[in-house]
Structure 1
Amino acid sequence: MANYAQVFLGTAFTSKSFSEVTILKDFLYCISGDGIIEQLFSPLDEQYEAILKEYEGKGNFRRLSNDEYILPGFIDLHVHAPQWAQAGTALDLPLEDWLNAYTFPVEAKFSDIDFAQAVYEDLVKTLLANGTTTVLYFATVHKQASLLLAKICSLLGQRGLVGKVVMDNDDQCPDYYRDADTATALKETEEFIIEVQQLNEQTKQGVYPVVTPRFIPSCTDEALQGLGELAAKYNTHIQSHCSESDWQHGYVKDRYDKNDAFALNDFGLLQEKSVMAHCNFIADEDAKLFAETGTAAAHCPVSNVFFSNGVFPAKHIHELGVDIGLGTDVSGGFSPSLYDNIRQAVIASRMLEEGVDTTISADKRGVDSSRLTTNEAFYLATAGGGESLSLPIGKIEENYAWDVQIINTNLQNGKLPIFNDPLEDIFQKILYLARPENIREVWVQGEKVHQR
Structure 2
Amino acid sequence: MEGVADLFKFVVKGTAFTSRDQKNVEVLQDSLFCISEDGLIAKIIQPDEAGYKETIQEYSTKGQLQELASDQYILPGFVDLHIHAPQWAQAGTALDLPLYEWLNTYTFPLEAKFSDQAFADRVYSDLVSQLLKNGTTTALYFATIHQKASLRLAEICSEKGQRGLVGKVVMDDPEQNPDYYRDDDAKVAIAETEAFIQEVLELNKHTPQGVYPVVTPRFIPSCTDKSLEGLGALAAKYDVHIQSHCSESDWAHEYVKERFGKNDAVALNEFGLLSEKAVMAHCGFLSDEDMQLFAEKGTAVAHCPISNAYFGNAVTPVAKLLNEYQVEVGLGSDISGGFSPNLFDNIKQAVISSRMLEDGVDKDCCSDKRGVKGSSLTLNEAFYLATAGGGESLSLPIGKLAVDYAWDVQFVTTKGLPIFSETEPLLDVFQKIIYLSRPECIQEVWVQARKVYDKTVEQRKEEI
TM-score grouping bracket, smaller chain normalisation: over 0.9
Q: For structure 2, list consecutive stretches of 5 or more residues without a partner in the other structure.
A: 456-464
For the pair 1:376 / 2:377, whether they are aligned, the reply is: no
1:59 Cα offset (Å):
2.8
Residue 416 of structure 1 corresponds to: 417
Question: How big is the shift at 1:92?
Answer: 1.9
State whether structure 2 residue 124 is matched by structure 1 residue 136. Answer: no
Match of 1:440 among 433, 440, 443: 443
The answer for the alignment partner of 1:193 in structure 2 is 197
Segments of structure 1 that go 5 or more residues without pairing to the other structure are none
**Residue in 2 that maps onto 1:296:** 300
List per-residue Cα deviations over 1:69-125 (Å, max 9, x = no partner). 000000000000000000000112111111111100000000000000000000000
* One-letter amino acid of the counterpart of residue 405, structure 2: Y
Of 92, 106, 121, which residue of structure 2 is paired with 1:117? 121
Partner of 1:406: 411
Say which of 358, 362, 366 aligns to 1:357. 362
Whole-Å separation in 2 of the counterparts to 1:437 and 1:6: 26
Match of 2:184 among 176, 180, 187: 180
SS of the aligned residue for 2:103 comes to: helix
Cα distance in 2 for partners of 1:273, 1:419 equals 45
Aligned to 1:316: 320
Question: Residue type of the partner of 1:182?
Answer: A
CA distance in 2, matches of 1:43, 1:111: 55
1:33-76 deviation digits (Å, cap 9, x = unpaired): 11000000000111111111111243321000000000000000
Distance 1:433 1:252 in 2: 41
Name the CA distance, whole Å, in 2 between partners of 1:317 and 1:335. Answer: 24
Corresponding residue for residue 95 of structure 2: 91
Distance 1:46 1:60 in 2: 19
Residue type of the alignment partner of 2:437: A
TM-score (ref. length: structure 1)? 0.98
Q: How does 1:45-444 map to 2 (within 5 A)?
A: 45-319=49-323, 320-410=325-415, 415-420=416-421, 421-444=424-447
Cα offsets for 1:186-229 (capped at 9, x unmatched):
00000000000000000010000000000000100000000000
Quote the Cα distance in structure 1 between the aligned partners of 2:420 and 2:240: 48
Q: Measure the CA separation in 1 of the matches of 2:204 and 2:170.
A: 22
What is the CA distance between 1:362 and its match in structure 2?
Answer: 1.3
Distance 1:326 1:60 in 2: 34
Q: Which amino acid aligns with 1:59?
A: G
SS in structure 1 at match of 2:179: coil
Shift of 1:180: 1.1
SS at match of 2:370: coil
Q: Which secondary structure does the structure 2 equivalent of 1:363 belong to?
A: helix
Alignment size in residue pairs:
448
Q: Could you give the per-residue CA deviations for residues 408-446 of structure 1, whole angstroms, max 9, x where no partner exists?
A: 111xxxx11112221000000000000111000000000
> How well do the aligned residues superpose, as a CA RMSD in angstroms?
0.7
Mapped to 2, the partners of 1:182 and 1:75 lie a distance apart of 32
Structure 1 moving runs of 4+ over 6 Å: none
SS at match of 1:84: helix
Distance in structure 2 (CA, Å) of the matches to 1:385 and 1:58 = 36
Counterpart amino acid of residue 338 in structure 2: G
Q: Distance in 1 between matches of 2:224 and 2:407?
A: 41
Which residue does 1:44 correspond to in 2? 48
Q: Could you tell me which amino acid in structure 1 is paired with residue 408 of structure 2?
A: D
Q: What SS does the corresponding residue of 1:13 show, helix, strand or coil?
A: strand
Query: 1:348-393, CA deviations, whole angstroms, 9 ceiling, x for partnerless residues?
Result: 0011101111111111111101110000000000000000000000
Distance in 2 (alpha carbons) for counterparts of 1:436 and 1:267? 41
Identity of aligned residues (%): 65
Task: Show CA shifts across 1:155-200 (max 9, x none).
Answer: 0000000000000000100000000111110000000000000000
Aligned partner of residue 255 in structure 1, secondary structure = helix
